[in-house]
Amino acid sequence: MSLGSFVFTSTALRSLEVDKDMLERQKYKKQLTSHHFNRYMLKKEIRDRAPLRSSTLPPAVCQDAVVQNALYTGDLEAMQRLFPRGSTANLIIEPQGGDMRWVPAGDGLWSLSYEQELTTPLHITASRGFTDCLRLLLQRGADVDQAPGGTAALHESCENCQPECTKLLLIHGANANAVTEEGLMPLHFCTSPESLECARNLLQYGAAINGRTQDENDTPLHVAAGNGLPEHAELYLRYGAAVDKRNNEGLTPLIAACAQPQEVQELERYFKVCQTLLAAGANAHAVDQDKHTPLHMACKNANPDIVDLLLANGACVNDMGYGGEAPMHNILKMASYKVSHQPERIVRALLNHGSIRVWPGALPTVLKHCCGSPRTIEVLLNAYSRLKVTDTWVEAVSSEALKEHKDFYESVFSLAQTPRTLQHLARFRIRVFLEGRLHKAVPKLDLPTFIKNYLLLEYRGYVH
């Protein structure tokens, strides 16, 4: 019967269009799921082409909400009923729902659809730490290396820090070097302090200590360093990890640790990683593809303990990157944003190790960007014998910084009419004489401690 045989209201037509869209989305959803499943089965057939297994039946797709509920809640009694002796646990789970995403619908149109990711009972139980349920499934013959969504259950147990499940999978023959579609091995999923036991289990069962990721060419030591995991780094080094391997960006694990942005509460972890790497022989002078050294990166992320450590291991304060920036440039760019990281400690250490100073004409610009860290400004200005303070200096300091640190900035601005003190000039001359040797020579001088600290630019809260 033709559409023109009836009188359709606009509401009825819209309803028909909605129904049609729903049917199209359901059709696309089934096609998408079928595509993922067929792709998985094709890979499995190629991988398992041995004659002995050629007659093995493919795993069934399970959409049963009762089975899924038992798996996701770790209900062992329900699973014992659902997977009795003689049954198979080799299932592909198609979760209900999922995240919405835009997918092409043809003719240049896009529609919202649920993103379905195929998984297995092993993945669900292993990632949630349901050890007893996982053991039951393995006893029922579940394929330990099954990876319909591109990752094996072992990857997910490591990612979710489930050491007991990780060990159980390995005992049942899981491949410790299984590679995901993104080119990651299980060790690359050990990215948090809680995953240490998982990493230890993997190494005991033959995980490749220097295995590389496909995209970035990172080793597990790169991953541990970049995530600030000192115990992981120590473990990997004991198993023979290469301490100075480079990834695709030219980063060694030491550079990777220094290059990672760090919150205040993470500074100590990253310091311990660098300490461990340097003790194992890491090169403090290594450079990445942009000629950035570990010291450049540590200054950029304002970790004063790492800066002190690198300088103690011979890092050069005046190495230049391809952009012409020295470590001093990097810390001055970040001083106001990293006040809680004590950037003044870094500026002080660099100057005491012979760092180049800022061109005097650029001091107003530095003042503008660093005025939120008055201690950084104090250390910086005390490296000069004279300062030409002008109205530009006053304009460079924000009203907020001036209000919060009024006394300090008034002492700076007063230098417009007052020369530096004789005490400071004497300090300056000694520092020039000991240029590059201050950090070694001053502690050996037979002087009171407060004078030594003064020579090494200790903070006083004002400039004189």
Q: Specify the DSSP class assigned to residue 265.
A: G
Is there a domain that residue 288 lies in?
no
| Residue, of 453 and 95, whose pLDDT is higher | 453
What number is the average pLDDT over the span 412-432?
Answer: 94
**Domain range for residue 155?**
62-95+112-208
Is there a domain that residue 182 lies in?
yes
| CA atoms of 379 and 246, how far apart (whole Å) | 36
Could you give the dihedral angle defined by the CA atoms of residues 306, 308, 309 and 315, in that order, rounded to the nearest 10 degrees? Answer: 100
pLDDT digits (tens, 9 = 90+) for 295-309: 999 999 999 999 999
In the chain, the number of structural domains is 1
Amino acid found at 425: L
pLDDT digits (tens, 9 = 90+) for 138-164: 999 899 999 988 899 999 999 999 999
Q: How high is the pLDDT of residue 99?
A: 55
Is the model's pLDDT at 20 over the cut of 50? yes
Is there a domain that residue 131 lies in?
yes
What number is the average pLDDT over the span 129-144?
Answer: 94
Residue 57 burial class via C-beta count within 10 angstroms: exposed 0-12, middle 13-18, buried 19 and up = exposed
- Contact (CB, 8 A) for 177 and 207: yes
Is there a domain that residue 189 lies in?
yes
DSSP symbols for 156-197: HHHHTT-HHHHHHHHHTT--TT---TTS--GGGG--SGGGHH
pLDDT averaged over every residue in the chain: 87
pLDDT digits (tens, 9 = 90+) for 330-346: 999 999 999 999 999 99
| CA atoms of 220 and 97, how far apart (whole Å) | 34
What number is the average pLDDT over the span 434-451?
Answer: 93
Lowest mean pLDDT among 18-22, 97-101, 276-280, 433-437: 97-101
Q: How high is the pLDDT of residue 1?
A: 43
Is there a domain that residue 15 lies in?
no
Is there a domain that residue 83 lies in?
yes
Q: What CATH number is given to the structural domain containing 144? A: 1.25.40.20
| CA atoms of 229 and 273, how far apart (whole Å) | 6
Kindly indicate the confidence band of residue 45, based on its pLDDT and cuts at 50, 70 and 90: low
- Say what percent of the chain tops pLDDT 90: 72
Kind plus residue range of the DSSP H or E element containing 110: strand 109-115
Residue 333 Cα to chain centre, angstroms: 22
Long-range contacts of 438-443 (CB under 8 A, 24+ apart): 438/352, 438/353, 438/354, 439/311, 439/349, 439/352, 439/353
What number is the average pLDDT over the span 61-87?
Answer: 86
pLDDT digits (tens, 9 = 90+) for 178-206: 999 999 999 999 999 999 999 999 999 99
Could you tell me the two tokens for 109?
């149109």
Is there a domain that residue 22 lies in?
no
Is there a domain that residue 175 lies in?
yes
